[in-house]
Amino acid sequence: VLFNFFEDCLTDHFSELGYEKLARDYARRNLAPVQVISIMTHVYKDKKFLQQETEIQERWVNRLEEGDAEIEE
């Protein structure tokens, strides 16, 4: 249920950015690596990894906001 909530929130966000047709795909493709990053950060106790990967995710979302990025099919 919690993943559904996050997926719905992200889907709404990507829809608002103008990616209505791809919003659910973008949400899932964003949610998956974020969960892996969280697990790896915990397992390896590596905050630097968390920062680095968070910045990568933020850059991707920023590029989407600018209309400059898409996910490969």
Q: Could you give the percent of the chain with pLDDT greater than 90?
A: 62
Give DSSP secondary structure letters for 16-50. HTT-TTTHHHHHHHHHHHHHHHHHHHHHHT-HHHH
- pLDDT confidence tier of residue 71, bands split at 50, 70 and 90: low
pLDDT tens column, 34-61:
899 999 999 999 999 999 999 998 898 8
Q: How many CB atoms lie within 10 A of CB 54?
A: 13
pTM over 0.85: no
- Residue of higher predicted confidence among 64 and 48: 48
Q: What is the CA radius of gyration of the chain?
A: 13
Going by pLDDT thresholds of 50, 70 and 90, the confidence category of residue 2 is confident
